[in-house]
Amino acid sequence: MMTEEEFAALPEDGNEPFASAHQMHGALDAGGVGLWEMCFADERVAFNDAACRVMDLPHGADFVSFAEFEQTIHSEDLAEFQRSLQLAIGSDGEIAIEFRLNGRDPRFTQWVCFSGRVTERDTGRPVRAAGVVHDVTDRRFEQEASDLLNRELAHRMKNLFSVVGSIAAVSAESHPEAKPFVQTFQSRLNSLAAAHDLLKERQWLFMPLEDLAGRVVEPLGVLNRIHIDAGDLMFGDYDMQTLVLVLHELATNALKYGALSNDEGSVALRFESLQEDPNSHEILMTWQEIAGPPVIAPTDRGFGMTLLDRLAKRHGHDAPVVEWHESGLFCRLRFRAGAR
């Protein structure tokens, strides 16, 4: 590939690559690339043939007025397009927006992506903008179908959490001795449901780790006593359920026996990224209870310790660090945030 200097030094004999803008536009048009250019002084928009096909304009409609162009945009999307264009004009920035067209067939919805930037300014005022336009109808329909499926799955998952909790409660009605177990089980289930709601809100993408941790402990009424330091770390769904259960167990344990069981105690909850392996996306969590009552290490292994051990084994790590200090529990373990 030649450098800019070599390109500029080519003789102007008509044989150099793209000797004119006309030739370049012709090549792009032949490749189906829709081009547009706005002239703000004349309030006109120019399109190449490929753009006319995308915008459903008559072939050869080189120029249309702003008013004619805006008539091609769906009425529900017009205001957002105008806002985006004004932002680009005001900041000498880019415009990138998707909108629906007022097609000839009202039964069919066509989506286009309209992107570009202000290219010229005269004495500080915008003169022109140019860019590309392409059809994104298929992608939008696929996304809408995917969103519909995700909403239905999320709704069914929410119902499933409710059904499982109800089954546990009804099953324990004739067994009073099981009531404490059912209450604990339902509390864990509620934490999972809350985390699932957050994932749904984030459309199953990475979420701020601080938001996730706060959502887990907030129902317990102790969020103001758990000081969360996660910076701008993000967390995916790979270890989400495990993290939720671990935080729930640590918080409820602190409420019953640890630093949150009195009026003075608090918890320092810290997350940090491990950079040993840039592809591992691992996060180190430390839970430090402060100013709690004296704690004695339990003699039996409950659900929480079993969960921590299984988490470590699944990732091939050493056993999690769990220490019972005089002021409260200290815990350190790793989670996999998931691959971006």
- What pLDDT is recorded for position 30? 56
pTM above 0.85, yes or no: no
Q: In what order do the strands lie in the sheet with 34-39?
A: 63-65, 44-47, 34-39, 125-135, 111-122, 94-100
Residue 100: which region, alpha, beta or left (left: phi > 0; alpha: psi -120 to 50)? beta
- Could you give the CA distance from residue 164 to residue 292 in angstroms, rounded to a whole number? 35
pLDDT at residue number 289: 92
Q: HSE, CB side, 13 Å, CA atoms: give it for residue 64.
A: 19
Cα distances (angstroms) measured from residue 50 to each of 56, 69, 298: 10, 16, 73
pLDDT, one tens digit per residue, over 299-320 is: 776 766 777 777 666 655 556 6
Q: What is the mean pLDDT of each run of 10 residues along the chain (340 residues)?
A: 44 46 58 81 87 80 83 92 88 85 80 87 76 90 75 69 76 78 75 71 74 85 91 78 83 87 91 68 88 78 70 61 82 73
Residues 270 and 159 in one domain: no
| Residues 242 and 314 reside in one and the same domain | yes
Yes or no: say if 219 and 193 are a contact pair by the CB < 8 Å rule. Answer: no
Residues 234 and 293 in one domain: yes
Tell me, what's the pLDDT at 329? Answer: 87
Q: Are residues 177 and 212 in the same domain?
A: no
Q: Are 225 and 287 in contact (CB under 8 A)?
A: no
Choose the final residue of a domain: 183, 203, 223.
203
Each residue of 12-21: b (16+ CB within 10 Å) or e? eeeeeeeeee
The residue type at 148: L
- Rounded Cα–Cα distance for residues 303 and 320 (Å): 14
* Tally of domains in the chain: 3
pLDDT at residue 226, as a whole number = 93
Contact status, residue 112 vs residue 135, Cβ threshold 8 Å = yes
Same domain, 153 and 271: no
DSSP, collapsed to helix, strand or coil, labels residue 115 as strand
Query: Contact, 257 vs 312, CB < 8 A?
Result: no
Considering the domain architecture, whether residues 300 and 196 belong to the same structural domain is answered as: no
Q: Which domain holds residue 44?
A: 31-135
